[in-house]
Structure formats: structure tokens, C-alpha cells
Amino acid sequence: ISFTEALQHFQSSELPPSRGTARAPGRRGVLAALLRCLRGPPRLRPQLRGERELALAMAQCALDDSERVHMRILQTIYRQLTRSRLGCPRYGAHWEELGFQGRTGSSPLPGDIPKIHPDLPWNLPVPSQLPQALPNAGIVVVFQNFPFCIMSVNITRIVIQALQEERLSRECNRRQQVIGVLNDLYAAAFLRLSRLWEQQHGTVANAGFFLKELELSTKKKPRQLLKSLEAYLSR
């Protein structure tokens, strides 16, 4: 399934209301609101708030085995990562090989903060079968013992939190889009992770350290991360 088709499905579906709507400040929050206007990140423009709510609602949508589009998305993830032309069973050890915490392809779920277990076989395929981890961004992760899917879920969580906390409003306003910024920031954070992992000889045991650094850079310096991605793709 293509990203466009999957997005269209969610746009036309009844999704749970997002929990990321900012509340109007009360009397005690007036001064804080004024200081925010002077020093803090800008508010998201009104015309982009619907797209923001869609993104937050999608992040809260649980995987449903009875939903055909959900299963097509899961199969697409498997094929993109393995470069296989064939599909795969819904359950099995092949999901653990891609870095999920179980044999269902759905654990951990978005919104959870997954634990890193060094005992799980989180090796990506051997180099001759190694896929492009982020084909749309042209980023290839080439490390053994790399918890790909668990890190992917965590990066998604970090990016969504950055959106909820309005850390991305300036960039979304500049580009006049929300989901495109989220996708690029996810790719940029994964690029940052791959470089850190290589430079500091990352292991599953210290994956939490890398996640903390990614969360800081994603929320504090999203534009800098995006520029790094742009520079990488322009080479």
C-alpha cells in the first residue's frame, strides 16, 4: 500500500478524538501565555490544526486485525524491510527478527514506551539481504544487533510528543503542512540515530541513552535535524 492511499483511509475513517488539543489559558496562565508569545514557539496556524488533529488521532489508532488496510500496511512494512516480493504470516518469529517485541508485528503499540530487552534476536538481515531502512529518505541502517522496529516506535513517539508540545509549529507554519514535517523529522531522527550508533558503537544495552539524546535534539532543535537530512539527501 502506498503512503497516500493509507493516509486517505485514515482521513475518511472515524478516528478517536486526539488528546493533544491545547487548552485556552486560565487566569493563572495569562502571564505564562504572554511570555510564550515573546519567547516560546509560535502557535500552529489555524488552517493546519485539522491536519495536526488527524496526525494525533492516527497515533492513537490501535492495530486492528479485522481492518484490511491495517494488514496491508503491516505487510508493506515487512516487504520494505526485507525486500521480499512475498507476504508473510500474520504471526510468527519473523516479526521478532525485524525488532518487534513479540511475534505479532504489533508489539509494542504506538504510545507505549517499550523496554529494550538484550535477549531478543534483534538483528537485521545479513548484509546481502539488508534493505533500505528508510527507502523514501534513502537512509540505510547497516548495523548488526540493531533494534530497528523498537527504535522506530520510540522515534515515532518522540516526534508525536514534539507535535503535541508545539515544538514543531514554526516548521509546520513555514512549510504549510504537518504530516510532511512529521515524516521528514522521523527520517531525520533516524539518520541521527544511525550516525550515533555507528560513532559510539551502539548496543541494545545502551539504546536508552541514544533515545534520550534523540528526544532532546528532536524537541529542542528540529530544524537542525531537518537540515542534516536535507544535506544528506543532496549528496
- pLDDT digit string (tens) for the chain, length 235 residues: 899 999 999 999 888 776 654 443 344 555 555 555 555 668 899 999 999 999 999 988 888 889 999 999 989 988 888 888 888 888 888 887 777 766 666 554 333 334 433 333 333 332 222 233 344 444 555 455 677 778 888 999 999 999 999 999 999 999 999 999 999 999 999 999 988 888 888 887 888 888 999 999 999 999 999 999 999 988 8
pTM: 0.76
> What SS3 class is residue 89?
coil
Q: Which residues pair with 139 in a beta bridge?
A: 134
Return d(Cα 76, Cα 2) in angstroms, integer.
8
pLDDT at 148: 79
How far is 233 from 22, CA to CA, in rounded Å? 34
What is the predicted pLDDT for the residue at 87? 85
Question: How high is the pLDDT of residue 38?
Answer: 58
Domains of the chain by residue range: 3-12+47-101+120-234
Nearest to 221 by CA among 191, 199, 189: 189
